[in-house]
Structure 1
Amino acid sequence: MRAELLDTEAALAAVRPEWEALWRRADARPGGTTPFQSPAWLLPWWEAFGTGQPRIAVLRGPSGLLGLLPLYRLEEGGTRKLLPMGVGITDYLDALLDPEAPEGAAAALLRAALSRPGDDTPCDLPDLPPGAALRAAPAPEGWREEGWTGEPCPVLELPGTVEALRGPVPANTLRKLRMARHRADRAGSWSAATAGEEEVLPLWDAMVAMHQSRWTRRGEEGGVLADPRVLGFHRAALPRLQEAGALRLYALRIGGAVAAVFHALAAGPDRLLFYLSGFDEARAFESPGTILLGHAIEEAIAEGRREIHFLRGGEAYKYAWGGVDRVNAGRRLLPP
């Protein structure tokens, strides 16, 4: 097992094919992986937000790439630290490990990333979900550690059939879903579907407009999509996620017009991650968000998925659908 450090953008681009292959293999590990660890997500992130210098630790064995930890060195406003690529707009962060990676692989990646001669830069590792390899990996010898509790990330455990949703999902929520569907039928019928390749960008633009309009009216200009860099990141990432088979863009139409769009990500065969949404507030009476969320959950069950991840934040609707908290954690590693 041999650790290397990649610290140029050319090296970052060159490792992409191996990285993608590793990401696909890594889903066979206990707990699987997520699109947040894929090059389809993190390379567009670097293009949009990358500052400073990349510092990607890789671990190689006789059969090829065994592990990858993509960090970067930030120097900004007097701040000097190592951070994971994706930080800020990524809900789950972690190293990527092959199913055959030996015990101690995550610790070896940390040592490679942090133990550069003459560099004593501290490292922050936020948004580590339960089961993350970096959550348990020991710090390099002599390094000190601080930790913190991150945000809750509610998860709905799915039953095997739609009929069995009455177990994990509160009856009141299912009653609201039936009522919303009846109202949408009376308003001119409704349909929900996953976007095909040619629909992705038009539906994304519709979702952005609805999201920004809603949050601007609530006094938060543009919501989380106010920053042009965030919009640029997503427009670059969407086709790459689609090509990787990870993108799920759900659209609801009422009377033929788009009323809601959900941006979700498929994490292996078992999990669906709800990332962003937008809905037409003029259709609030029909509750388009409720209808589309119900559709996406039912489709996930039909696909054999076992979990819906509502991601960071304790918004009330997540618990109304039966979400149960799983809490991220953070680590700060300080040099000797």
Structure 2
Amino acid sequence: MRRDLITTNEAIPALREDWEALWRRAGARPFQAHAWLLPWWSVFGTPHPRVATLRDAHGTLRALLPLYRLEENGTAKLLPMGVGITDYTDALLDPEAPPDAITQLLATALANESAPCDLPDLPPDAALLAADPPPGWRAETWGGEPCPVLTLPDSIEALRGPVPSNTLRKLRMSRHRADRAGGWSATTAKPDEVPSLWEKLVALHGSRWTRKGEEGGVLADPAVLAFHRAALPELQAAGTLRLHALRIGGEIAAIFHTLAGPGRLHLYIGGFDEARAFESPGTLLLGHLIECAVAEGLREIHFLRGAEPYKYGWGAQDRVNTGRRLTRA
């Protein structure tokens, strides 16, 4: 195996094709895809990438760890690309990579480094969570945020098991109200509909959170918006982006930005028209997405970071992320 460390921004685009191929072979989450992390780096990147790669004798990329060095206020630390707005972080690991591949990646990324390496938001199955630190380094962990997950049954009829009966009753009532308000429909955006539907989502999300006293919500930061606008076509081309719209009486009442992964649907961000609160458009659209996920054969709905009560109302159970810090021993 050949280990390499990329430390210039000019060298990163050359990784794109191999990165995508590795991501697909690994069956990894969309948050580890080039389609998510390269747009993030284009907006939030620094002059100091530290991207560790592991290739076999034929030059095939078998493992990837995209880190970077952040220097501010006289201190430095290493962080994973995507940090902050990425709910699950991890390395990319080919099924045919050697057992110590992650430790090799860490050793490569941390070579000649004295700064600590913080790895937040590692899901329970993260390779970086279980890997031994490289020689000369020690690891400590901290508790992260809960990420509620709904485990899906094999059929829509069986939703009565994992989803509480009062939520299903509320869903039926919402559908009846929407029917009386002119009817409802839920669709997934076609490629040419994505830009306009995204801007509508931004408006709905921002309006609601501004009324709650948080100006613009999580999309208020221009850099965050720039990232999403750059990532949308990349995620779409990778086949993981799904923008879903609910219409009541022909007018958009709710939108969800979701990311599909092997066996999973990740609910990243949504917005709904508060003028339609009587029909509960968020409940309507979520119910539709869950039923579609079951019909598609998906196994899990990931509500991602945060312990908002509505997630548990659908029967989701906590899976807690973990943070890990590596420091010189």
TM range (shorter): over 0.9
Secondary structure of the structure 2 residue equivalent to 1:231:
helix
Secondary structure of the structure 2 residue equivalent to 1:313:
coil
Matched, 1:234 2:234: no
* Unaligned 5+ runs, structure 2: none
Secondary structure of the structure 1 residue equivalent to 2:230:
helix
Matched, 1:317 2:313: no
Q: For residues 256 and 4 of structure 2, what CA distance do their matches in structure 1 show?
A: 39
Matched, 1:121 2:115: yes
**Among residues 143, 147, 150, which one is paired with 1:149 in the alignment?**
143
Could you tell me whether the CA contact under 8 Å between 2:2 and 2:57 is conserved in 1? no
Secondary structure of the structure 1 residue equivalent to 2:99:
coil
Deviations, residues 87-118 of structure 1 (Å, cap 9, x unaligned): 000000000011101101111100100013xx
Deviations, residues 222-265 of structure 1 (Å, cap 9, x unaligned): 11000000001001101110010000111000011110000000
Could you tell me whether the CA contact under 8 Å between 1:60 and 1:67 is conserved in 2? yes
**Among residues 52, 55, 65, which one is paired with 1:57 in the alignment?**
52
Secondary structure of the structure 1 residue equivalent to 2:12:
helix
Secondary structure of the structure 1 residue equivalent to 2:177:
helix
Q: For residues 232 and 9 of structure 1, what CA distance do their matches in structure 2 show?
A: 19
Could you tell me whether the CA contact under 8 Å between 2:6 and 2:49 is conserved in 1? yes
Which residue identity does 1:26 align to in structure 2?
A
Which residue identity does 1:37 align to in structure 2?
Q
Matched, 1:283 2:279: no
Q: For residues 240 and 84 of structure 1, what CA distance do their matches in structure 2 show?
A: 20
**Superposition misfits of 4+ residues, deviation over 6 angstroms:** none
State the match for 1:14 in structure 2.
14
**Among residues 59, 68, 74, which one is paired with 1:72 in the alignment?**
68
Matched, 1:263 2:257: yes
Deviations, residues 179-229 of structure 1 (Å, cap 9, x unaligned): 001000100000001111011111111110000000000001111000000
State the match for 1:183 in structure 2.
177
Q: For residues 288 and 49 of structure 1, what CA distance do their matches in structure 2 show?
A: 34
Q: For residues 178 and 73 of structure 1, what CA distance do their matches in structure 2 show?
A: 51
- Deviation of residue 292 (structure 1)? 0.3
Deviations, residues 110-150 of structure 1 (Å, cap 9, x unaligned): 0100013xx31210000000110000101111212221010
Secondary structure of the structure 2 residue equivalent to 1:24:
helix
Matched, 1:4 2:14: no
**Among residues 278, 281, 296, which one is paired with 2:289 in the alignment?**
296
State the match for 1:108 in structure 2.
104
State the match for 1:30 in structure 2.
none
State the match for 2:39 in structure 1.
44
Residues 316-335 of structure 1 aligned to structure 2 (within 5 Å): 316-335=309-328
Matched, 1:167 2:167: no
Which residue identity does 1:94 align to in structure 2?
D
Deviations, residues 42-88 of structure 1 (Å, cap 9, x unaligned): 01000111124111000000241100000000001223000000000
Secondary structure of the structure 2 residue equivalent to 1:299:
helix
Q: For residues 261 and 40 of structure 1, what CA distance do their matches in structure 2 show?
A: 21
Q: For residues 217 and 75 of structure 2, what CA distance do their matches in structure 1 show?
A: 27
- Deviation of residue 26 (structure 1)? 0.4
State the match for 1:94 in structure 2.
90
Could you tell me whether the CA contact under 8 Å between 1:52 and 1:75 is conserved in 2? no
Could you tell me whether the CA contact under 8 Å between 2:9 and 2:47 is conserved in 1? no
Could you tell me whether the CA contact under 8 Å between 2:63 and 2:93 is conserved in 1? yes
* Unaligned 5+ runs, structure 1: 28-32
Q: For residues 6 and 173 of structure 1, what CA distance do their matches in structure 2 show?
A: 50
Q: For residues 223 and 76 of structure 1, what CA distance do their matches in structure 2 show?
A: 26
Q: For residues 111 and 5 of structure 2, what CA distance do their matches in structure 1 show?
A: 10
Q: How many residues align?
A: 328
